[in-house]
Chain A
Amino acid sequence: MIAELGHAALWLATALAVLQMVAGALGLREMGLKNANAGVVALARPAAVVQAFLATLAFFLLLYAFAITDLSIKLVATNSHSMKPFIYKLTGTWGNHEGSMLLWVAVLALSGGLLAGLERRLPEKTMSATLSVQGFVALGFYSFLLISSNPFERLPLPAPEGSGLNPLLQDIGLAIHPPTLYIGYVGLSVAFSLCMGALITKQVTPDFAKVMRPWVLGAWVFLTFGITAGSYWAYYELGWGGWWFWDPVENASLMPWLAATALLHSVSVLAARDALRTWTIMLGVLAFSMSMLGTFLVRSGVITSVHAFAVDPERGSFILALLGLYIGGALVIFAMRAGYIAEGKRFTATSREGALVFNNVMLSAILAIVLLGTLYPVFTEVFDVRVSVGPPYFNPAGAIFAIPMFVVMAIGPLLRWKDDKPARIQFEMMMLAAIAISVIALVAFFGSYGFLPILGLAFAAALGVAALLPLRGRKLSRVPTATYGMVMAHFGVAVSLFGMASESAFTAEKLAAVSAGGQEQVADWTIELESVDPIAGPNWTAVEARVIATRGDGESVLLTPQARNFWAPSQATSESALLTTWDGQLYAVIGDSAGVDANGNPRWQLRIWWKPFVTFIWYGGLLIAFGGVLSIIGRLQVDLRRRSAIKRGKERREDAEAIGSSAAPEPAE
């Protein structure tokens, strides 16, 4: 029953998406005229809301099917197992292609429903166009789900037992990382639809930017959080000791983030200064395009990645067709309409807008670098040349644009809108330069490290100070919440940058074959392998090493890295053991058995890293995300205050009219 209900809910949602699309489009054509279609037009909003309910219901039904391990459903049978811990039964819902696409459309419908239900500020015509586009996008993904990836397909005969979930995915990381990323990806669809709506109705105004801003911010917060969580998950789960691999799938999540970061800054310029109109629209299209492109790259198998997703060329063709329809269509409309959008207000290069535009261009350049690096293997393969693009390309090429971006990011928030003289902030600039130079001198004096890590440390220090400067000389209780958000997010960038630079400059690594009782030295840590014993978990067996780590003369700590063998499905994983201190992490991995030592005792491969301040990478990521949250709160506060002010003004005016007084005060607007 559950599967059939879910399936039916999906079909109904699809039908409603069609209705929403048609009603929105009619609204666009017939608006203003009193006509017979007015009834249909009014259906666009309710259609979106009910659709959100149905798609969410379908997702929860699948969640339930996974929870009770309903083995008559093909998806459950191929991805779950009755003996799996309950939490991983639940997370297994989205740990596969069909389930994750269902999550994708559920979030898409939910954000469409929220937009339709809550947004009342836009001109009705723009709103109609927006809802129509949102319905059109949803329709494509519903068809994809129903035609080529039905999650509710039944098996002709129920399976006796499920085949299990990939052990790498049996981790709490999977509970958080994909859903947050998806909410971020799909939240950008609202920005996309709003941009298309504004473009079609030629209403690219500051009001439109104010409507779009919370959506962009919200999606961006989830993306930031999802990427941060994903990076930490890869770091401790894969056992390679790295936190970013420039893998195509990681890039697929980074690219929408870069576009969204640029978008959220340019949307602020549009909202505050009515400048950058076409550029903002372009970024809005670009951000969601990158989300869809990411989905395509991950799901089609066009690019080989360490993330072994179920790959299927037929699904790939389907998503490519959707991509062509949406991105291609959006770009055609952009090409036709962008010329009609007047250019917006002017500003000089040395102004807040100037700095924001510069960094927008830098972010877009980095996006182009990542995009090119990710797609390059696809292009060369046409000529039968197989390449893989890695850190030697991404790091320096990205740095070319990241370095000037950090410089401008430090001083941009200190500039005034419209026009400013650099001489006014001379003191601040000199101070920041002095900080950066002294850090470079200090680090270079104490050891020889790479150029980029040293530069990273210097920028981190200068940026950390610069981020706080906008608060200088202001009464802290009077500073708007959104400004605190910006300060926090910029400070988070500095913290994260510090973690990255410190990790790449100062990491100490040791790979050794050790027998029980053997000792190794890593940085100022003494590592002793006490014993290696077999242990068993609910659906795996493992060898577990007991490793005693002692720092200098300090207390000893026990670490227990494991090499696990799962039996459903059969796969080996390595569970690293982490010891977190305030100034870094000790990272231990146990490998294969490595023969015997001179006395005939068995030896094991032991890999130990000491990574100073590596955790700051993720602390920084969290700070950035919370900065975004603060900013949303701040914007909503202002918005609510203005709404109540307008309401009060209106009441006062009505009162005044009722009394008949001609001396009523002007509304506060």
Chain B
Amino acid sequence: MRLLYLIPLALFLFFAGVAGYQLTKPKQTAIPSQMVEQALPEFELPPALDGMPGASRADFVGGKPKLLNIWASWCVPCIAEAPHLERLKEEGVEIIGIAVRDRPEAVSGFLSRYGNPYTRIGADDISELMLAVGASGVPETYVIDAEGNIRYQHIGDIRENHVDLLLEKLEEAG
């Protein structure tokens, strides 16, 4: 038996091993943003509705770490996470919202129905901030420290068991 003839078998066994290992692992389809641990990009967004201020990068600098919540009135999971954002607000967390591709009437309708945990809401009509922070969908929530750096990214809606985790991440960022 020549060694040469064993090479195809060896290559195949290597592949089969890796593929078998991959099959046993749960498939994770969410892709973390490359922007985590980097500075929040410069942005300045107009208010998403009358009577509330818009949002810019400067709003995150100084004071305590804050949450940046990307949401939209047309987004169903955002309704599900509304009570948990409310709880975070009760814990004294400052949450700055970004309404993606939304209209002022729809935003105020959503807030009056599901509560308003935000101190400011910027209107991201063309998803520019979404793209800049590397969000893959709505909703997503970011922990931003007092220097304006992205410290943690939460993909998808915030569930009950995520509240303590986010509080912990905010603590770490402080």
Contacts and interface: CB of A to CB of B under 8 A. Distances in A.
Interface of A: 278, 282, 285-286, 289, 296, 300-302, 304, 311, 313, 316-317, 320, 323-324, 327-328, 331-332, 334-336, 338-339, 375, 378-379, 381-382, 386
B9 A331 contact: yes
27 contacts: A278-B5, A282-B8, A285-B8, A286-B8, A300-B19, A302-B22, A311-B27, A316-B23, A317-B23, A320-B16, A320-B20, A320-B23, A324-B16, A328-B13, A334-B5, A334-B8, A334-B9, A336-B1, A338-B2, A338-B5, A339-B2, A339-B5, A375-B15, A378-B18, A378-B22, A381-B22, A382-B22
A335 B16 contact: no
A302 B13 CA distance: 17
Contacts of A328: 9, 12-13, 16
Interface residues of B, number: 19
A174 B77 CA distance: 35
Nearest to A304: B29
Nearest to A317: B23
Contact of B31 (A289, A296, A378, A386): A386
Nearest to B26: A313
Contact of A296 (B12, B18, B19, B21): B19
Question: Which of B13, B19, B22 has most A Cβ within 10 Å?
Answer: B19
Contact of B1 (A302, A339, A382): A339
A320 B15 CA distance: 10
A302 B23 contact: yes
Given A296-B19, A317-B23, A320-B20, A327 B2 contact: no
A476 to B, nearest CB: 43
B131 interface: no
Nearest to A337: B5
Nearest to B27: A301
Nearest to A595: B125
A296 B29 CA distance: 19
B19 A331 contact: no
Contact of A313 (B15, B23, B29): B23
Interface in B25-58: 27, 29, 31
Question: Interface SS of chain A: helix, strand, loop or mixed?
Answer: helix
A332 B1 contact: no
A331 B2 contact: no
Nearest to B8: A331
A386 B21 CA distance: 16
Contacts of B18: 378-379, 382
Contacts of A331: 8-9, 12
Contacts of A379: 18
Contacts of A285: 8
A327 B12 contact: yes
Contacts of A289: 12
A408 to B, nearest CB: 24
Q: Closest 9 A-B residue pairs measured CB to CB? A: A331-B9, A338-B5, A335-B5, A335-B6, A331-B8, A316-B23, A302-B22, A324-B16, A313-B23
Contacts of A313: 23, 27
A323 B29 CA distance: 25
Nearest to A334: B5
Nearest to A286: B8
A336 B9 CA distance: 11
B9 A335 contact: yes
Given A317-B20, A375-B15, 20 more contacts: A286-B8, A300-B19, A300-B23, A302-B19, A302-B23, A313-B23, A316-B23, A317-B23, A320-B20, A328-B12, A328-B16, A331-B8, A331-B12, A332-B9, A335-B1, A335-B9, A336-B1, A338-B2, A381-B22, A382-B21
A10 B130 CA distance: 52
Question: Which of A285, A304, A327 has most B Cβ within 10 Å?
Answer: A327
Contacts of B2: 338-339
A323 B22 CA distance: 15
A287 B28 CA distance: 31
A320 B1 contact: no
Nearest to A293: B15
Nearest to B15: A375
A323 B16 contact: yes
A331 B18 CA distance: 18
Contacts of B1: 335-336, 339
Contacts of B9: 328, 331-332, 334-335
B101 to A, nearest CB: 11
Nearest to B4: A338
A327 B27 CA distance: 26
Contacts of A382: 18, 21-22
Contacts of A302: 19, 22-23
A197 to B, nearest CB: 18
Contacts of B16: 320, 323-324, 328
A381 B23 CA distance: 11
Nearest to B125: A595
Nearest to B22: A302
B12 A378 contact: no
B168 to A, nearest CB: 22
Nearest to B21: A382
A53 B19 CA distance: 35
A302 B19 CA distance: 7
A336 B20 CA distance: 25
Contacts of B13: 328
A601 B58 CA distance: 38
B45 to A, nearest CB: 18
A282 B11 CA distance: 14
Contacts of A323: 16
Contacts of A386: 31
A274 B20 CA distance: 40
Contacts of B20: 317, 320
A324 B12 CA distance: 8
Contacts of B8: 282, 285-286, 331, 334-335
B173 to A, nearest CB: 23
Nearest to A377: B22
Given A304-B29, A386-B31, A378 B19 contact: yes
A324 B29 CA distance: 27
B117 to A, nearest CB: 30
Contacts of B6: 335
A315 B38 CA distance: 41
Contacts of B27: 301, 311, 313
